[in-house]
A = this chain, B = another copy of it.
Amino acid sequence: MSDKRRSTRRRRGSEQPTLQQVADAAGVSAITVSRALNAPERVNAATRIKVLATVERLGYVPNLVAGSLASARSRFIAVIVPSLANAVFIEVIHGLQETFEREGYQILLGNTDYDIEREYQLIRTFLGWSCSALVTAGLRHSEACRSLLTHWDKPIMEVMELGDALDLNVGLDHHEAGRCMARHLLAQQYRSVVYVGACLDRDYRARMRFEGHREVLHAAGLEAPMIELDQLGSLDAGATGLERVLSRYPSTNAIHFANDDLATGALLRAQRLGMTIPGDIAIAGFNGLPLGQHVTPRLTTIRSPRENMGRLAAEEVLKRLDAKRVTRRRHDVGFELLVGDST
């Protein structure tokens, strides 16, 4: 029970060298190696070169877990999206990833499948990873989630939509987008317009667009019928949507779809059925995905700056992380009506 009581009872998964071993091999202290790697300017050039050579020689890979624990911060950014099936989120993620990776941050990606409870679970887990910031899609969260986040002191970025955000906000006004398309359809003299969406309780931004749409139609003294599909945005669902409109509202002359996937699915189905667009029926979408611009007739839609939204969101978060500089909290990335030949 003397000094002999050494501590050999330790695991050690692989035989990865540690910082200390690099330090010993280089003839410096551990902290110098740490600094040579993480804050090179704080180390004399000659020492730095010697240390980095040793790092190379031993094949040292820093244990980021240990580093994060010691410094109480990781270079993780939690990113939470409601779906991976939708190209929109992929592009936003892409914009985020590019920008964050350039600064050495790693994205932790979570997918809620449009389930607000799942968001809470994911956020809990992510907080446990000492993320440097959180980027999440949307402004609606569960109560538990809100209270968790209000006690959190790192940047929180809510993207996609605009409104009363917890912290930072980059997005666009979905009500206004819905109004915009409805006005366009009315201006084109369509009077019998159906809105078709999918799972609007979960994809509530699509519902917001519907509300804008309905407002405009009501203001013009028109009905605003709506059909809700139970399969989230897909070409298949769009085809189903078209058929349902045709059987339920046969006199319809325009369909306003909640997104481009649905709209394109409907457009392709209509063509397969031998219908003329926009002669027999006009079709409009939302998102401005490339697909809609490749079909003939080109789809009338609303383009949202998706990758840009990701990039801007990342930049704003980075600004905050850098200097805690006070930045504008809300950024409206806007949208653009893209008039194709389908309306």
Contacts and interface: CB of A to CB of B under 8 A. Distances in A.
A interface residue count range (under 10 / 10 to 19 / 20 to 34 / 35 or more): 35 or more
A90 B97 contact: no
Contacts of A328: none
A124 interface: yes
Interface stretch (A192-200, A215-223, A249-257, A267-275): A267-275
A262 to B, nearest CB: 12
A294 interface: yes
Contact of A151 (B14, B94, B295): B14
A291 B106 CA distance: 32
A254 B64 CA distance: 53
A97 B90 CA distance: 15
B290 A65 contact: no
A290 B233 CA distance: 12
A47 interface: no
A128 B66 CA distance: 9
Contact of A236 (B13, B73, B128, B290): B290
Number of copies: 2
B69 A152 contact: no
Contacts of A269: 294
Interface string A145-157: 0001001110000
Given A265-B294, A268-B295, A127 B94 contact: no
A28 interface: no
A59 B148 contact: yes
A73 B13 contact: yes
Interface stretch (A107-115, A205-213, A317-325, A331-339): A107-115
Given A85-B94, A152-B14, A65 B61 contact: no
A301 interface: no
Nearest to A130: B65
A93 interface: yes
Contacts of A74: 65
Interface of A: 11-15, 59, 61-66, 68-69, 72-74, 84-85, 87, 90, 93-94, 97, 106-109, 111, 124-125, 127-130, 148, 151-153, 234-236, 239, 264-265, 268-269, 271-272, 290-291, 294-296
30 contacts: A11-B72, A13-B72, A13-B130, A14-B151, A14-B152, A14-B153, A15-B151, A59-B151, A61-B124, A62-B128, A63-B130, A64-B125, A64-B128, A65-B69, A65-B74, A65-B128, A65-B129, A66-B69, A69-B69, A84-B90, A84-B93, A90-B90, A94-B111, A106-B108, A106-B125, A106-B129, A107-B109, A108-B108, A235-B291, A264-B294
